[in-house]
Structure 1
Amino acid sequence: MKILIARLNHETNTFSPVPTPLGAFAPAYGDAAYRAAKGTRTAAAAFIDLAEAAGADIVVPVIAGANPSGRVAAEAYTHLCDTIIAAAHGCDAVMLDLHGAMVAENSDDGEGDLLRRLRAVLPHAPVAVALDLHGNITQALVDHADIAVSFKTYPHVDMYETGAHAGRLLLDMIAGRVRPVMAWRRPPLITHTLRSRTDEGAMQRAVALAREAERDGMLAVSVLAGFGLADIAAPCLSVIVVGDGDPAKADEVASRIAAQAWAERDGFAYQAEPLSSSIARAAQLADSADRADARPVLLLDHGDNCMSGGTCDNMAVLHEALAQGLTGIAVGPVCDAEAVAALVDAGVGATITLPVGDKVALPQLEVYPQSRPLTGTVAAITDGEYTITGPTYTGQRIRMGRTALLDIGAAQIVVTETPQEHWDLGIFTHIGIDPHRARFLLLKSRMYCRPVFVPIARAVVECDGEGVTSSRYERFPFRRVSRPVYPLDGNVAWAG
């Protein structure tokens, strides 16, 4: 048996100005692709482990993943898909580690179009797909995959387990132990990412129903929150059910879970408070806390989150905090390669005045920020590298590019050459900041910081700045979305 295994991963924010060329994916091919995936906590690694245990021959044409950003360049998308399709000839089965929310310059349905091409080459080969919880599912994906399973956690800590689930079903299908049939529902519901966390609220209850249905005999049940910052036909919540030979039962389960999600649709909508109110509340939390509790207050700038396509250079939250007199702030990272170069040239110990951040325009949102100067001391310069200690991407080496620490008195600002998520305390400790000693930690993050930073914090304040990942959907000029859809429209009916 010859099994094709590949990873092609991108969550596309079509409103983001951050480009997505081929280089953003850091693609690895052939033997290098196998080595890049083997031993990681990804679905692709689980596929490899299962295929090797089954004694299969493995073809790994490409392992490629890019941080969320704008539409994937047409040349990059075509090249990566061509690489997978070229390797498919002669394969007996396919296991794909995809995201589900990829949009390219030449495709509004990146995964669906890839699977359509793959099915044309391998009309009868079983195909299993592992997906992100934020995938935007289409009919093409459902039509051309035999098995589709998504993450059940957000923050995502079950990537490997999802691959293992999908891969086991594929091998059982090949062995004749199961007969997968898929059903799906997609209510007209665009969720907010901050309401897709799986440890509370409507999303937690929907995932609980999915797990219950699996215990009751369904092979796999996935609730995908979708990714709303994509101007495509339906960036909506979906339910996918993989049943065993009984399409009617699978359809009933998909319909029932989707109906509950629709009934609780208000629970998937996030109501952001004004930024000035968030900062004032954070200051009050810091001032009113038990003086014996020296832990920091987290300021989460989810309006400029790089893992949703943010530029990581919007300074609205910091400037509001400074205007309200907050001190003891550790900030980072702010992505500003131009400022890094100036800080490096000045050298450690130098006092310097320079504009930091607010240099990337958001033309689709008609936001053209003006970078304001900051005066401070260059406190440290590093190569911007550290190793994640967990729980997400444990052991992975992070490379932020050259990194400088600017101390302006009220705040210490980590400035990097590339956008970065807060996977680990190392984003601060590697440059000499002890995050435990900060009064406030200003992070450009929604969720991935939480497993690491929430345990060291006294409180969390979500701050909706002016970036391209804002939760205020009214700021975004949706033109391709099929209307009516909740919450963009008032009266939306859905019969299931």
Structure 2
Amino acid sequence: MTTPRIALLGFSIECNRWAPVARMHDFTNRCLLRGEEIVTDGRAASSRALGEMPGFVTTMDATGPWEPRPIMLAMSEPWGPVARDVFEGFMAEWRAGLEPLRGQVEGVYAVLHGAGLAEHLHDPEGALQALVREILGDVPFICSYDLHGNISAENVALNDAFVGYRTNPHLDMRERGAESAQLMRRLLAGEKFVRAHRRLPIIAPTVSMLTAQGPYAEVINLGQERAAADSRIVNVSVMGGFAYGDTPFNGMTAVVTATDQGAAEALAQELAEAAWARRDRFVARLTSIEEATQRALTSPVPLAFADVADNPGGGGRGNTMEILRAFHAAGVQGAVFGVINDARLAAEAHALGKGARFRAVFNQGGLDEFSHEFAADAEVVALSDGQVTGRRGIYGGTVMQLGKTARLRLVSDPPQAVNRPHDVRGIEVVVISERTQCADPAFLEHLGIDISTLRAVVVKSRGHFRGGFDEFFQHEQIVEVDGPGLTSPILTRFNWKHVPRPSLPIDTEASWP
């Protein structure tokens, strides 16, 4: 066999229907790689791309000769639907890169997300897959997906192997890229794969889809057990979905890739039935801000408070003030808030310099229905340019750009007493300029914060912080707080327009054949 030539491309963004439109800057700031940059980044010790493409590239390198044909990989932090002109520009660029490869490649690998939107499309991933098939025809085509993908029939039909994450928080992205490379080798050797899928009227709240424990973990584990016992099963992906995409194909979906259609259909059905049997457990159980404040004041052990409703990892703005306002008013001590997205305030702190005291005004003037103004006297403790290499979890080994960053200490008068010494007295806030969820301890540590000394950490994150901060906080030390924001797990608070109805738990009842 000749050395296989493999086209490489990707489009990965999680889109919240209610968040502001994603622009070109959101991709260029996070990860927009063209041509050989994709391969170079994939082989680097620290990459700009998340782990799927590096996992694929390095595994292809390790398993035999190949010739990459890289085109373009576009990744952004979660935001709103991608601007029409931006996505159409991407499609034109992918088309221009694919056309010369017509009849000149033996396979294609695409990094996708599954919860993407464009201003004019519910399913931009499907549009990209269709473009690949239109130009390259029936070549082996493998797509990897985030487990939060909302999966259309086209997403399953237009590839040869469907590979979804298995962990939430996402710790297996590199492994899924590596698995995609191994499946590519099997396809190149002549194997043929088929797929089956089942979608359920379950639109699970984000906080109910952890994979260490709970109903979602149980269904995923069942799928892996069945795959290990049946050589016909190539991959099992249980896609939890992303509620805030608000698409006509929202709903938990089991996707099975196999060498036998009957085996694929039977397992997809079994997994769907297993999820349906657990349907009443896919609910959000949150702690009120008032109760969270009391726990911050009285807990005998350190706690991590997750501001799940304002999660930049799901399209939140990362700047709601309600938890900070409550903790500050109550005199909570030894607490750090990370990370608040306020470029204006970060720039002001940089202009004033380390050691300066000033009146810090967050969300000056108020920005929207959730991002209200909050002001407090503050001291500039530390500053950085915000270039950080992630240390653990989803961003581990990934180069991140937080923009101008400031560590501010809120000054209370008089200061409250503390039970024991802390590096942080009172409340400190890490302010960034490029909206990102606080999923990695390095976001705080690079400013000199010793997390092990804190009584409380409040993170703008839904769940990925669990994979980064697990060395400091066990599951029992995590409090998911019911605040306001664009990513509230209380799904009845949203005006749904496109999701299938009835669906649980938005509706009190739903049926599934």
Q: Specify if TM > 0.5.
A: yes
Q: Against the structure 1 CA distance between its residues 45 and 354, is the aligned structure 2 distance closer, same or farther, given a 3 Å change threshold?
A: closer
Alignment-mate amino acid for residue 242 of structure 1: T
1:73 maps to: 83
Q: Which residue of 221, 232, 245 maps to 2:236?
A: 221
Cα distance in 2, alignment partners of residues 358 and 488 from structure 1:
34
Task: Check if 1:145 corresponds to 2:147.
Answer: no
Structure 1 stretch 404-413 or stretch 140-149: which is displaced more? 404-413
Where in structure 2 are the equivalents of 1:73-222 lying within 5 Å?
73-88=83-98, 89-90=101-102, 91-176=105-190, 178-215=191-228, 216-217=230-231, 218-222=233-237
Residues 282-305 of structure 1 show CA distances to partners (whole Å, capped at 9, x for unaligned) of 433x2xx2xxxxx63111111111
- 2:54 aligned residue: 45
SS at match of 2:222: helix
Structure 1 counterpart SS, 2:388? strand
447-456 vs 433-442, greater mean Cα deviation: 447-456
Identify which of 341, 352, 377 aligns with 2:347.
341
Return the TM-score normalized by structure 1. 0.92
Paired letter, 1:355: V
The answer as to whether partners of 2:288 and 2:482 remain within 8 angstroms in 1 is yes
Q: Which residue of the partner structure matches residue 475 of structure 1?
A: 493
Q: Secondary structure at the match of 2:469?
A: helix
Deviation at 1:171, TM superposition (A): 2.3
AA in 2 matched with 1:428: L
Aligned 8 A contact 2:170 2:393 in 1: no
Read off the aligned partner of 2:65 and give its amino acid letter: G
Measured after TM superposition, the shift of residue 25 of structure 1 is: 1.5
Give the aligned residue type for 1:450: R
- 1:337 and 1:242 mapped to 2: Cα distance? 45
Q: Is the 8 A contact 2:196 2:261 kept in 1?
A: yes
Q: How far apart in 1 are the matches of 2:339 and 2:128?
A: 35
- The question of 1:57 aligning with 2:73 is answered no
Q: State the AA in 2 paired with 1:280.
A: Q
C-alpha deviation, 1:72, in angstroms: 0.8
CA contact (8 A) 1:454 1:460 kept: no
What amino acid does structure 2 have at the position aligned with 1:129?
A: C
Paired AA for residue 133 in structure 2: R
Deviation at 1:472, TM superposition (A): 1.2
User: For the residues of structure 2 that align with 1:404 and 1:204, how far apart are their CA atoms?
Assistant: 38
- C-alpha distance after superposition, 1:242-267 (max 9, x if no partner): 111x2122101001101110110122
Summarize the alignment of residues 213-252 of structure 1 with structure 2, pairs less than 5 Å apart: 213-215=226-228, 216-217=230-231, 218-244=233-259, 246-252=260-266
The alpha-carbon distance between structure 1 residues 6 and 404, as it changes in their structure 2 partners (threshold 3 A), is same
On the 8 A contact 2:313/2:461 being kept in 1, the answer is: yes
Match of 1:3 in 2: 6
Contact persistence 2:439–2:469 (CA under 8 A): no
Give yes or no for contact 2:392–2:441 (8 Å, CA) kept in 1. no
Equivalents in 1 of 2:473, 2:157: separation in Å? 46
- The 8 Å contact of residues 381 and 431 in structure 1, kept in 2 or not, is answered as yes
Alignment equivalent of 1:326, drawn from 326, 332, 336: 332
Q: Aligned pair 1:404/2:420, yes or no?
A: no
Report if aligned partners of 2:305, 2:456 keep a CA contact under 8 Å in 1. Answer: yes
Conserved in 1, the CA contact under 8 Å of 2:393 and 2:464? no
Shift of 1:7: 2.4
Does the 8 Å contact 1:273/1:464 carry over to 2? Answer: yes
Which residue identity is paired with 1:387?
A: T
- Contact 2:6/2:107, CA 8 A, preserved across alignment: yes
In 2, Cα distance between equivalents of 1:396 and 1:220: 27
Shift of 1:315: 0.8
Identify unmatched segments of 5+ residues in structure 1. 290-294
TM-score by length of 2: 0.89
8 Å CA contact 2:321, 2:371 repeated in 1: no
Q: Which residue of 2 aligns with 1:486?
A: 504
**Is contact 1:311-1:360 (8 Å) kept?**
no
Alignment of 1:306-321 (within 5 A): 306-321=312-327
Alignment check: 8 A CA contact 2:393 2:465 kept: no
Q: CA deviation at 1:33?
A: 2.3
Q: Is the 2:241–2:251 contact (alpha carbons within 8 Å) kept by the matching residues of 1?
A: yes
Query: What's 1:375 paired with?
Result: 377
Equivalent residues in 2 for 1:408-427 (5 A)?
A: 408-409=410-411, 410-427=426-443
Q: Is the 8 A contact 1:4 1:87 kept in 2?
A: no
User: Secondary structure at 2:470's aligned position in 1?
Assistant: helix
- CA distance, structure 1, for counterparts of residue 184 and residue 397 of structure 2: 29
Residue identity opposite 2:292 in structure 1: S
Matched-pair contact (CA < 8 Å) for 2:334–2:454:
yes
**CA–CA distance in 1 between the matches of 2:485 and 2:343?**
18
Does residue 274 of the first structure (1) align with residue 288 of the second (2)?
yes
RMSD of the TM alignment (CA)?
1.9
SS of the residue corresponding to residue 378 of structure 1 reads strand
1:369 CA displacement: 4.1
SS in 2 for 1:454: coil
> What code does the residue aligned with 1:326 have?
V
CA contact (8 A) 1:354 1:373 kept: yes
* Aligned mates of 1:252, 1:368 — CA distance in 2: 46
Question: Quick one: distance in 1 between partners of 2:371 and 2:34?
Answer: 40
Residue 306 of structure 1 and its aligned partner are, at CA, apart by 1.1
Q: Which one of the candidate residues 457, 475, 479 is aligned to 2:473?
A: 457
Aligned residues: 480
Deviation string 1:67-125 (CA, Å, 9 cap, x unpaired) is: 00111111221222332233223233111111111111121101111111221112211
Counterpart of 1:292 in structure 2 is none
1:146 to partner: Cα distance: 1.2
In 2: Cα distance, 1:70 partner to 1:359 partner? 23
Contiguous gaps of at least 5 residues in structure 2: 412-425
- Using the alignment, how far apart are the partners of 2:19 and 2:459 within structure 1? 19
Per the alignment, in what secondary structure is the counterpart of residue 455 of structure 1? coil
Identical amino acids, percent of aligned pairs = 28
Change (3 A) 1:491 1:408: same
Deviations 1:329-367 (A, max 9, x none): 1112111111112222222222211311376745xxxx2
Task: Please state whether the residue corresponding to 2:471 is helix, strand or coil.
Answer: helix
Task: Call closer, same or farther: CA 1:169–1:322 in 2, change over 3 Å.
Answer: same
Secondary structure of the structure 1 residue equivalent to 2:80: coil
